[in-house]
Structure 1
Amino acid sequence: MLLDPYYSKQDKSVIISAEQASQFAKKECQDFNPIHDPNSKRFCVPGDLLFALAINEYGISESMRFTFTNMVGDNMPLNFPVTDAEHIVVTNDQGKSVLEINRKGQTSHDLELIESLIKKYVVFSGQNFPTLLMPLMEKHQVMFNPARPLVMYNSMNFEFNTLSLTNPLHVELAESKLEVEAKRANEFLHFDIFDGDNNIGHGVKTVVVGGLKPYDHDAITAFADNYLAMRNAF
């Protein structure tokens, strides 16, 4: 199973080590955000891994929204409740919400569909930096602080027209936008979901970019070059 190397079970809890989370980000998402490095002081489990575990547990519904409510740290026990409810709250060992899911419509537990969506979506999601975010920051003449980058997954939602696949699934960018609010910005990545050439769904990923400062082309380019060097070396 695709996700088996990236978590473990302890009693009824899901446990994700910093190393497992980092390997998922790098191997499956091609995401080298420093916040997912095991030795980062601000380490957190990537939202894409939580999303993947959620649809692995609950299946894919025709309409779903995932809201990331708190950061998940190294080896933090997580409770994915057994439920058929439309509103699901995944909690940590202190009972605090870390992920909230809202779902409607029919649900598929087809493993091929679930793994296909995980693989294709997380690669799309992981290309945010530098491919998608860099042009938006230049357009708006803002950027995050390269010394303390803060780019955080906020939410994601999608809607499917059908849950039956006849061809390989793939995800493509439809539109990207950045809304700047003083020292932070909200980035919106709209995407389409295809079954072969047929558009069978759409969605949007929302990202918070914190610690904004005036755009410095040389500084952010140097950061991006180093980021890509790490990706290529891996």
Structure 2
Amino acid sequence: MPFEIIPAIDIRGGKCVRLIQGDYGRETVYGDDPVAMAKRWADEGALRLHIVDLDGARAGSSENFEAIKKIVKAVRIPVQVGGGIRSFETLDDLLDAGVQRCVLGTALAKDPHFAEEAFAIYADAVIAGIDARDGKIAVEGWQETSVVDAVRFAAHIEEMGASRIIFTDIGRDGMLTGPNTGALAAVCEAVSIPVIASGGVHTEGDVAQLMAIQGIEGVISGKALYEGTTTLRALLDAVGPEEE
């Protein structure tokens, strides 16, 4: 499978936003039309989109479902969605709408029986999102930090049946300071399933660093693309034509 550069679209109140380190009080709005943003990234060469329902992450239910449905209809590339997915009803609604992958986050820690059953029933269509702050997992839209070690939790999630993991380092998210390669390498050593990196990527060099870590199959990029510190084309070129 080729190494993927996955643009992120975070939706809050129907707008495209980015938070700094998951802080809802440190929000920047980058557009009021998530569908137009999705089309932009698809037109620029994205092979997959990562959508986060920030309202849903805090509410525990899908709050921007209509916008997500419109995005899926507007682009011809796979879409993965996270934020507020804590029931089979929400999973079914999203998958029926054409979402390719649903990302479980808080449910992994708060409702492991649901998560384990979801992995068994939906297989590759449900994946794990592990969000870490200072090496410990965070839940409820990153508003709560636990005492659970993120690397050990990743191994546990694989045992539960997850087919892949998105690993986000909250301390790097939105900071444009580069990915936490040490934590990512530790996660990749702890599991045998693919890992998608998220948080801090802002240069082509960051992509090269991540590609060198065995087990990482892609990276989610958000603020760097919106702030223009790099371009989607530059990140895709960093992957190389043979990979893309």
TM-score (ref. length: structure 2): 0.27
Q: Name the structure with the higher strand share.
A: 1
Task: Looking at secondary structure, tell me which structure has more helix per residue.
Answer: 2
TM-score with structure 1 setting the length: 0.28
User: Is the radius of gyration larger for structure 1 or structure 2?
Assistant: 1
